[in-house]
Amino acid sequence: MAKTSAPPSPTATWRITNLERETADGFVFTAHYTIDVEDGTYRAGAYGSIGFERPEKLLPYADLTEEIIIGWV
Secondary structure element (H or E) that encloses residue 67, with its range: helix 66-72
Over residues 8-57, the pLDDT tens digits come to 789 999 999 999 999 999 999 999 999 999 998 999 999 999 999 999 99
Structure confidence at residue 1 (pLDDT): 62
Total-model pTM:
0.81
Position 2 confidence tier, pLDDT thresholds 50, 70, 90: low
Instruction: Give the whole-angstrom CA distance, residue 45 versus residue 59.
Output: 30
Structure confidence at residue 26 (pLDDT): 95
What are the residue boundaries of the structural domains of the chain, listed by start?
A: 11-68
Q: What is the DSSP code (8-state) at residue 33? A: E
Instruction: Give the whole-angstrom CA distance, residue 27 versus residue 4.
Output: 51
The answer for residues whose C-beta is within 8 angstroms of residue 46's C-beta and 6 or more apart is: 34, 35
The better pLDDT of the pair 52, 7 is held by 52
